[in-house]
Chain A
Amino acid sequence: MMRVLVADDEAPARGKLQRWLKEQSDIEVVAEAEDGLSAAEAIERLHPDVAFLDIQMPGLSGLEVAAQLEPEAAPLIVFVTAFDEHAIKAFELNAIDYLLKPYDKDRLLKTLARLRVRPADASARAAVTTARAQTQSQERLLVPVGETLQLIDSTTIEWLEASDNYVHVHTAARSYILRRTLQDLLEQLGDRQFARIHKSAAVNIAAVKAFTPLFKGDYEVQLRNGKLLRLSRRFKDQLFGRMGR
Chain B
Amino acid sequence: MAVAHLDVPASRHAPGRRWLSQPSLALLFLWVMFWLLLMAVGVQDYYRSGGTHWWQPVLWEGSSLAVATVWLVVQRRADRHYAVYIDQPLRWLAHHMKWFPLIVLTFVPAVYAIRHGVYALAGVTYRHESWSYVFVYESVKLVMFFGLWLGLIFGFDAYARSQEQRQRLLALQKSLAEAQLAHLKAQLRPHFFFNALNTISALMQVDVPRADRLLSRLADLLRATLQWGDKELTSLREELRMLELYAQIMQERFADRVSLTWTVDPAVLAGSVPALLLQPLLENAFKHGVERSRGAVRIDVEARREGDLLHIVIRNSGSVLAADPQEGVGLRNCRERLNVLYGEAGSLRLAQLADAVEASVTLPWQEHRA
Name the interface residues of A76-115: CB closer than 8 Å to any CB of B.
82-83, 100-104
The smallest beta-carbon distance between A15 and chain B, in angstroms, is: 6
Please tell me if the beta carbons of B291 and A9 are within 8 angstroms of each other in the complex. Answer: yes
Chain A residues contacting B190 (CB-CB under 8 Å) are: 82-83
**Contact A15 B206, CB 8 Å, known A34-B294, A56-B291, A102-B197:** yes
| Contact digits for B179-199, partner A, Cβ 8 Å, 1 yes 0 no | 000000000001100110111
Please tell me if the beta carbons of B194 and A83 are within 8 angstroms of each other in the complex. Answer: yes
Chain A residues contacting B202 (CB-CB under 8 Å) are: 12-13, 15-16
A19 interface residue per 8 A CB criterion: yes
**Contact A102 B253, CB 8 Å, known A12-B199, A12-B202, A15-B206:** no
The smallest beta-carbon distance between B258 and chain A, in angstroms, is: 11
A213 interface residue per 8 A CB criterion: no
B163 interface residue per 8 A CB criterion: no
A117 interface residue per 8 A CB criterion: no
Chain A residues contacting B199 (CB-CB under 8 Å) are: 10, 12-13
- State the CA gap A83–B194 with chains docked (Å): 7
- State the CA gap A22–B202 with chains docked (Å): 15
Please tell me if the beta carbons of B292 and A101 are within 8 angstroms of each other in the complex. Answer: no
Please tell me if the beta carbons of A102 and B200 are within 8 angstroms of each other in the complex. Answer: yes
Please tell me if the beta carbons of A58 and B253 are within 8 angstroms of each other in the complex. Answer: no
A35 interface residue per 8 A CB criterion: yes
Please tell me if the beta carbons of A13 and B205 are within 8 angstroms of each other in the complex. Answer: no
Please tell me if the beta carbons of A10 and B253 are within 8 angstroms of each other in the complex. Answer: yes
The smallest beta-carbon distance between A196 and chain B, in angstroms, is: 35
**Contact A102 B291, CB 8 Å, known A12-B202, A13-B199:** no
Q: Which of B195, B200, B206, B291 neighbours the largest number of chain A CB atoms within 10 Å of its CB? A: B195
B201 interface residue per 8 A CB criterion: yes
- State the CA gap A10–B201 with chains docked (Å): 13
Please tell me if the beta carbons of B253 and A12 are within 8 angstroms of each other in the complex. Answer: yes
Give the A-B pair count, Cβ closer than 8 A. Answer: 61
**Contact A82 B191, CB 8 Å, known A10-B199, A15-B206, A16-B201:** yes
Please tell me if the beta carbons of A101 and B195 are within 8 angstroms of each other in the complex. Answer: yes
The smallest beta-carbon distance between A91 and chain B, in angstroms, is: 16
Chain B residues contacting A16 (CB-CB under 8 Å) are: 198, 201-202, 205
| Contact digits for B244-262, partner A, Cβ 8 Å, 1 yes 0 no | 0000000011111100000
B366 interface residue per 8 A CB criterion: no
Please tell me if the beta carbons of A13 and B255 are within 8 angstroms of each other in the complex. Answer: no
- State the CA gap A15–B255 with chains docked (Å): 13
Please tell me if the beta carbons of B256 and A82 are within 8 angstroms of each other in the complex. Answer: no
From B253, which residue of chain A is reached at the shortest CB distance?
Answer: A10
A82 touches which one: B195, B200, B205, B257 (CB < 8 A)?
B195
| B contact face: mostly helix, strand, loop, or mixed | helix
- State the CA gap A34–B290 with chains docked (Å): 13
- State the CA gap A146–B199 with chains docked (Å): 36
- State the CA gap A12–B292 with chains docked (Å): 17
Please tell me if the beta carbons of A10 and B294 are within 8 angstroms of each other in the complex. Answer: no
Please tell me if the beta carbons of B191 and A56 are within 8 angstroms of each other in the complex. Answer: yes
Chain B residues contacting A190 (CB-CB under 8 Å) are: none
Chain A residues contacting B293 (CB-CB under 8 Å) are: 58
**Contact A82 B294, CB 8 Å, known A11-B256, A16-B205, A56-B191:** no
The smallest beta-carbon distance between A65 and chain B, in angstroms, is: 14
From B295, which residue of chain A is reached at the shortest CB distance?
Answer: A58
- State the CA gap A58–B255 with chains docked (Å): 15
Please tell me if the beta carbons of B294 and A102 are within 8 angstroms of each other in the complex. Answer: no
B203 interface residue per 8 A CB criterion: yes
The smallest beta-carbon distance between B219 and chain A, in angstroms, is: 15
Please tell me if the beta carbons of A83 and B198 are within 8 angstroms of each other in the complex. Answer: no
Chain B residues contacting A104 (CB-CB under 8 Å) are: 201
Chain A residues contacting B194 (CB-CB under 8 Å) are: 82-83, 100-102
- State the CA gap A150–B152 with chains docked (Å): 79
Please tell me if the beta carbons of B191 and A83 are within 8 angstroms of each other in the complex. Answer: yes
Please tell me if the beta carbons of A12 and B252 are within 8 angstroms of each other in the complex. Answer: yes
- State the CA gap A81–B291 with chains docked (Å): 14
The smallest beta-carbon distance between A201 and chain B, in angstroms, is: 36
- State the CA gap A103–B201 with chains docked (Å): 8
- State the CA gap A240–B206 with chains docked (Å): 64
- State the CA gap A103–B205 with chains docked (Å): 13
- State the CA gap A83–B198 with chains docked (Å): 12
The smallest beta-carbon distance between A84 and chain B, in angstroms, is: 8
From A80, which residue of chain B is reached at the shortest CB distance?
Answer: B198
Name the interface residues of A1-52: CB closer than 8 Å to any CB of B.
9-13, 15-16, 19, 34-35, 37
The smallest beta-carbon distance between B31 and chain A, in angstroms, is: 62
**Contact A82 B291, CB 8 Å, known A10-B254, A15-B206, A19-B205:** no
From B194, which residue of chain A is reached at the shortest CB distance?
Answer: A82
Chain B residues contacting A83 (CB-CB under 8 Å) are: 190-191, 194
Chain A residues contacting B206 (CB-CB under 8 Å) are: 15
- State the CA gap A37–B295 with chains docked (Å): 13
- State the CA gap A11–B258 with chains docked (Å): 13
Chain B residues contacting A9 (CB-CB under 8 Å) are: 254, 257, 291
The smallest beta-carbon distance between B329 and chain A, in angstroms, is: 16
Provide a sorted-by-A list of 12 A–B residue pairs whose CB atoms are within 8 angstroms.
Answer: A9-B257, A11-B256, A12-B198, A12-B199, A13-B198, A13-B199, A13-B202, A16-B201, A58-B294, A59-B292, A100-B194, A101-B197
Interface residues of A (CB under 8 A from B): 9-13, 15-16, 19, 34-35, 37, 56, 58-59, 82-83, 100-104
Closest 6 CB pairs of A and B: A16-B202, A82-B194, A101-B198, A12-B202, A102-B198, A102-B201
